[in-house]
Structure 1
Amino acid sequence: MKPDHPIEPWADFFGPRGVMRRRLVRAKLNRAVRDWASGDGLIWLHLLKTVTAGLLALGMAMLLDLPQPRIAMTTVFVLMQPFSGMVLAKSFYRILGTAVGTVAALVLGGLFGQQPELYMLGMTLWVSACIAAAVRYRHFRWYGFVLAGYTAALIGIPNVIAPQGLFLAALTRAAEVAVGIVCSSAVSALLLPQRSSLALRHNLQVRYANFTAFTLDVLAHGLERNQFEQRFAGFVDEIAGFEATRTFVAFEDPAMRSRSAHLARLNSEFMDACARLHALHQLLKRLRTGRAASIFAAIDPYLDELRGLFQVQAEAGVEASRVAACLRLFRANLPSRVRETRRLLDAASAQSIADFDTAAELLYRFVGEWINYSETYACLWRKAENRQQNLRRSSSPHKSHRASGPISRTNHFAVLFTFLRSAVVIGIAGWFWIATGWPSGGLAVIGATLVCALTSTAPRATRMAIQMAIGAMVATLTGYMFICYVYPNIDGFPLLCSVLSPVLALGAFVATRRGAAGFGIGFSVFFCLLAGPDNVASYVPDLLIDNGIALSASMLLAGLVFAVVFPADMRWLIERTIGDLRAQTVSACKDGLPGLNRRFQSRTHDLISQLRVLLTHRSRRRRDALRWMLATIEVGHAVIDLRNEAARADYADILQPRWRSAIEHTCDALARLFERPGPHSLEGALIAVRSATWLAQDMLQTVHADSDRRHDLRRILSCLHFIRSALLDKDAPFNPR
């Protein structure tokens, strides 16, 4: 008997219900593909491009009949980057560094050709100076200085004992390194190029969302000190790394190059918003813990309303421009509402009134900085027809001081520390080589040069050096298997590529893992250097084992020196860097006002990022350094605000002739506190702030009928009160605990 409805199964598939099902399946599949493409897919693409560039460099060097094509392949694995903008931005500096390194090797050879000891001394000083300069001039310029030292060692070290072949070796090694540079740049830029602009856009979106969530937590219930410090320091790291990414983007994308000033302004406004949120959090924390329940209850309705606006943005994904419009309305109505609330607090103490005024002022300033940040963020990715308008906005006179990028400032003692550390490691390896005549000693010196260069900016140089040593050991064993069993049984370049690809891809994959990058770098680089094929094949496994021992020993030596002789968390180096950080507050007190906020922001955040590299382990020293970081930002910004407000509302000719000297005396006392922290300087700063506060209160009574001047003086009083509360904070670094 036939079924009553024989076409129903087909109707479920081809009918309206089936169409909906197919669309749902297709949407899920597309979403899964996009997630894979933006995650693991990028890793696999990077592996494909890295292996392709390495094999292309190998083939080009063989085609050009260069004596050691493995040097070209090694260079690719030293320099390859995931984004084409990074590669293009560094290509010029790579080639320039290679040329300078070649000239340095020739000059040293000409001066000390018959004196190996002096030649080795000169090479050690040159390479160490290049590594120190790489630390001093960071970002993409780092590669230029590293290449200048790496190329000089690669050319000169094998010819210390036999200087007659130096000139020919200089030409061939420079050509091999140049082939590696050209191949890595070409493959990165032409083979499915990954634009830094896309990564930058994604990072900015994630940062905006994370900062919104961070703001919500601060406004809702506050954060514990450790949680706040950790999350705030993460934003500082993003600020410090943004400038390098902006430079990469400018190299690869002309449209983004035209908006480079806009991006710099966005980062500057994000720094301002972070600083305002930090100040607001510090004051709210003191109100919560200082038995100021009535004042906190008075300011809490405004915090609730602000939380509601940010909550809608976080949950519903409202556009930044719409949120900025709502915040602008909230900010416009805030002064009148605050005045109404303040009238209800007339019976409160003067201290409570000052707390309320300061909290309201900080809230007003924070909302203003968030509006600037949101509007700049919203108009950054508009359509092309709006770009010129955005550029005109980014170059407007009142924002011109924000158009330039952050100012990098590296402690000179940190640069000297890097120079001495590299000189000790390379010097010990070179001395042992010359003293013993070890045939593989030259490769040990080259390995010491590479590990010192690649770990110069690593947060944990000791761990990375040991990982690279282990990677070199595994590379030695793998190279032994290739020389003894693989190379003799294959013929032709295509078959050579097919057997090398899995090994090279494995090393590149491990190098992308955050906690195991040293293993991958050591394996990839030293497998190419030890067992990479040359035009004239050499099947000498005992020499490979000896070379592998030399490389592993040099990296273990570097790890030992890094851990014992020159540990990164040495007390004197940390104290010097903290001293540079405190000096930024001194500059905020004494330097000229034009552009002061930008200089203070960029230098302070740059020094904080350097301190976080030095302080990798949890300790009391790390906690003290974090307190100085927060105190510097807190007091420095408040002093700049105080000076700006005092300069804008200078009433010396009408009211008090002592007003200007009181502000100057306050700034001098705060500068002395950060120059020489101690109980005496802290007491002097508190006295100066209190005296200026009393004088401003007297002036407030004088101009009570003038609403504009009264408002200006209340802003000044809020700055002074905030500075005083920061000095009295129990968590401040200048207070005994």
Structure 2
Amino acid sequence: MTYPSWRDWLFSVKTFAASMLALYIALIFQLPRPYWAMASVYIVSNPFVGATRSKALYRALGTALGATAAITLVPPFVETPLLFSVIVALWTGTMLYLAISDRTARSYVFMLAGYTMPLIALPTVTDPTTIFDVAIARTQEITLGIICASVVGSAILPSRLAPTLIERADAWFRDAAFYGRETLSGTIAGKAISACRQRMASTVNQLEFLLSQLSYDHTHPEILSRAQNLRGRMQLFLPMISALADPLIALRRDLHTWPEGLDALLADAAKWFDAPLPTRAAEIHDDAGDPVAESLRARVAALQPPHDALTSWEGALLSNALWRLGQVIDVWQDCRTLRALIAHETGTWRPRYRHWRLGGTERFYDRGLMLFSCLVPMGAILVACWLWVSSGWHDGAGAVTLAAVACCFFAALDDPAPLVFRFFVATAASAVFAGLYLFVVLPKVHDFAMLVLLFAGPFILIGTLIPRPQFNMVTMLVAVNTATFISIQSAYEADFFVFLNSNIAGISGLLFAYVWTRVTRPFGAEFAAKRLLRSSWTDVALSASAGRIADQRDLASRMVDRLMQLIPRLAASDEHRHPSIESFRDLRIALNALDLRRSRRKLNGDMPAVIDRVLAGVSDHYTRCAQTSERQSAPPALLATIDDALHRVAAQGLAQEAADAARAADADAAGPAGASAQTPPPAHFTQRWLRDTQHALVGLRLSLYPALVGQRPGSEPTGANG
């Protein structure tokens, strides 16, 4: 374990100072529970001022919303305890569902509203006439802590989020460079590759939440826009580089066809992945460009096979590999430029990678699993309330409220039980710590200055661990619960039996929450991964179906987002048929199907009907996968359909080239007058769509039948299909 850095110490000292300021003001104004102000500081504080501000604002809004709900619902339903329990559970579950549905910092509003309502309402059911005063007091105490945390964090050596964004991006660049080098060398499996893939996906997911806090960090809107563009291209890099691996492996390993110059091109591209980022302002302007990227593009174009070579499987594979390599170069250059622009806050940017898939905003949500995740806390509240009412336990409200808080905190996780147990352990430790302070230390305290001195040592020490992800939850809970359990008032009051009963109630509630969660959610990441896979197969079938798609960009965005959620849930492995590799192929099949749907409208003759047959076969295959919830082998008939389509595209390309050559010869013979009277030849337009169609068909064949990449289209099968 490394020792805390000076930034950790600074954060801890600032947080402690803000908590003491909040406690002092609360004592001056004689708020009923001043320790809530102190505890709120530790809840909202973050090493970065933008995160603290966003959390503070959303916690204040959530607290106000929860308090309003408590004031509204307690008086009319307090005489019917079981009905009131149902209403509390419904409120908490609804707010929790809204929180899980929002993957930005704004979700905190709903999370706080969800568990603040029972936190305020349940202790007042024995005396409902106090609900308004209690709600107002809790709101004042929490708001005071929020304001103190925000002011101190912003005024004293504030730390910005932008450097953290750069650090996260740099970690992704290191992983992406390694992943790119390995892919270009033909390596797509292995534990190192698999772990790298998981880290890259996790980084992309974390950036979504981080970017939602940047606007509270006084970040310029243009920098925020560039950061969002950078994250979007980070998402695309993994699927693109994995798509490049298939044709390269097929050419090198299965067909033993390797054109001269391709090795050098791939080696130079791999070196470029490791090249330092632009540092001078002149290097990150559009007019400066990237000479290495431009050179790589020129070499890609020079290696492109002629039209007549595309009739062979080797030529089609080479064309597909070079086309995908060009896309990877464009996306990597965009990522490099955007990273430099964000770091230096200067320069201009014009995207190199432009595609119809960009611009989608839809995200994937497993609504069924989300609903179940919300039903679990609702059930916990109902059962805990029933036990409380049935037993007549005076302090039972504390057990219900902490059970609700614990279940809500971790509802979005695949396996929340371990963290609920850590919550329980941290709370038990806090109770012991608070007891020592309350009955051994505080009796010797005679003024606020001495209280600050006695609190400073342990709270500052604990605070240094809060910025560390592996200790964040436990140390934050210890600080918050200790402040709450000590229950500091303007005058010393300590009753051992009251302290014991109230803490036993809270700890019992957390133990119940752990047992309830363990019983009701025995499954973990594997279950969530299976649901993601089945949903992915449904979308692949949709992408290849004849049905209308409202927005293809949103469909593509949803599938990429789902893939980024799936990869971190899969264990690192060295298998060549690892689910993450298969899932990349599923995504490529969907995107190739969407490309075919777009290109078929530009083609004539019998090509649209041929493409329709291919798409229908793909849709039927993935519909079967989704219906059986198992990955099925692609049928041989679909392979024959794809091969037939490839032959027809190649033949039409040659016919179009011959027709264009004949038209050009006739125009030359007719002279300038005859040439001006003829319609301009559509050679470039038609050949472009034919080549795009061929790329999509090759991509489908490679992804659906990875074991048959060495088998040329139309030949008899020599092995098992994919």
For the aligned pair, the TM-score class normalised by the smaller chain equals 0.7 to 0.9
Relative distance call for 1:727 and 1:51 in structure 2 (3 A) is same
1:678-709: CA deviations, max 9, x gaps?
A: 65864454344233223212212212334634
Does 1:672 pair with 2:642?
no
- Structure 2 counterpart of 1:473: 428
Q: Is the 8 A contact 2:204 2:235 kept in 1?
A: yes
C-alpha separation in 2, matches of 1:731 and 1:135: 43
Letter in 2 for 1:145: F
Of 270, 278, 300, the match for 1:307: 270
Within 5 Å, give how 1:394-543 maps onto structure 2: 402=358, 406-458=361-413, 460-543=415-498
SS of the residue corresponding to residue 676 of structure 1 reads helix
Q: Is the 8 A contact 1:46 1:82 kept in 2?
A: yes
C-alpha separation in 1, matches of 2:721 and 2:574: 14
Does 1:292 pair with 2:260?
no
Of 548, 552, 557, the match for 1:596: 552
C-alpha separation in 2, matches of 1:210 and 1:731: 30
Q: Is the 8 A contact 2:230 2:335 kept in 1?
A: yes
SS of the residue corresponding to residue 498 of structure 1 reads helix
C-alpha separation in 2, matches of 1:457 and 1:53: 30
C-alpha separation in 2, matches of 1:530 and 1:261: 44
- Structure 1 counterpart of 2:652: 699
SS of the residue corresponding to residue 293 of structure 1 reads coil
C-alpha separation in 2, matches of 1:301 and 1:620: 28
Q: Is the 8 A contact 2:613 2:641 kept in 1?
A: yes
CA shift, 1:663, in A, is: 2.5
Answer 1 or 2: higher relative contact order, Cα 8 Å, separation at least 6.
2
Of 687, 698, 702, the match for 1:721: 698
Bigger share in helix: 1
Q: Is the 8 A contact 2:252 2:258 kept in 1?
A: no
- Structure 2 counterpart of 1:663: 611
CA shift, 1:331, in A, is: 0.5
CA shift, 1:229, in A, is: 3.2
Relative distance call for 1:736 and 1:711 in structure 2 (3 A) is closer
CA shift, 1:92, in A, is: 3.2
1:596-651: CA deviations, max 9, x gaps?
A: 34x345423432344457x476799998753553223322333344445555xx23
C-alpha separation in 2, matches of 1:550 and 1:621: 49
SS of the residue corresponding to residue 294 of structure 1 reads coil
What RMSD over aligned residues (CA atoms) do the two structures have, in Å? 3.6
Of 329, 333, 344, the match for 1:371: 333
Relative distance call for 1:369 and 1:610 in structure 2 (3 A) is closer
Matched pairs, number: 678
- Output the TM-score relative to the length of structure 1: 0.83
C-alpha separation in 2, matches of 1:490 and 1:422: 41
Of 285, 294, 307, the match for 1:328: 294
Within 5 Å, give how 1:197-212 maps onto structure 2: 197-212=162-177
1:432-479: CA deviations, max 9, x gaps?
A: 221112232111112112212222334542211111111111111111
Within 5 Å, give how 1:238-257 maps onto structure 2: 238-255=203-220, 257=221
Of 194, 199, 224, the match for 1:260: 224
Identity of aligned residues (%): 19
Letter in 2 for 1:371: Q
C-alpha separation in 1, matches of 2:571 and 2:490: 48
Q: Is the 8 A contact 1:638 1:722 kept in 2?
A: yes
Does 1:144 pair with 2:109?
yes
- Structure 2 counterpart of 1:26: none
CA shift, 1:712, in A, is: 4.5
C-alpha separation in 2, matches of 1:176 and 1:367: 55
Letter in 1 for 2:691: R
Q: Is the 8 A contact 1:433 1:441 kept in 2?
A: yes
1:339-363: CA deviations, max 9, x gaps?
A: 38x99xx7x9933333222222222
SS of the residue corresponding to residue 78 of structure 1 reads helix
- Structure 2 counterpart of 1:358: 320
C-alpha separation in 2, matches of 1:329 and 1:569: 48
Relative distance call for 1:641 and 1:366 in structure 2 (3 A) is farther
C-alpha separation in 1, matches of 2:217 and 2:537: 38
Relative distance call for 1:296 and 1:622 in structure 2 (3 A) is closer
1:193-237: CA deviations, max 9, x gaps?
A: 111122212322333343223222322352424433332232222
C-alpha separation in 1, matches of 2:573 and 2:318: 36
Relative distance call for 1:42 and 1:459 in structure 2 (3 A) is farther
1:61-118: CA deviations, max 9, x gaps?
A: 2122111011222222222222111122233322221121111111221221222222
Of 265, 281, 295, the match for 2:245: 281
SS of the residue corresponding to residue 152 of structure 1 reads helix
Letter in 1 for 2:226: H
Does 1:233 pair with 2:198?
yes
C-alpha separation in 2, matches of 1:621 and 1:417: 32
1:549-608: CA deviations, max 9, x gaps?
A: 2222222222222223213527765443323333443454458799734x3454234323
Relative distance call for 1:580 and 1:81 in structure 2 (3 A) is farther
Runs (5+) with no aligned partner, structure 2 = 626-630, 661-682, 710-719
Relative distance call for 1:225 and 1:349 in structure 2 (3 A) is farther
Of 479-488 and 239-248, the range deviating more from structure 2: 239-248
C-alpha separation in 1, matches of 2:654 and 2:356: 37
CA shift, 1:730, in A, is: 4.9
Letter in 2 for 1:51: F
Q: Is the 8 A contact 2:251 2:314 kept in 1?
A: no
Q: Is the 8 A contact 1:54 1:76 kept in 2?
A: yes
C-alpha separation in 2, matches of 1:540 and 1:622: 64
- Structure 1 counterpart of 2:592: 638
C-alpha separation in 2, matches of 1:399 and 1:679: 31
Q: Is the 8 A contact 2:624 2:632 kept in 1?
A: no
SS of the residue corresponding to residue 657 of structure 2 reads coil
CA shift, 1:530, in A, is: 1.1
CA shift, 1:401, in A, is: 8.1
Letter in 2 for 1:631: R
C-alpha separation in 1, matches of 2:96 and 2:35: 24
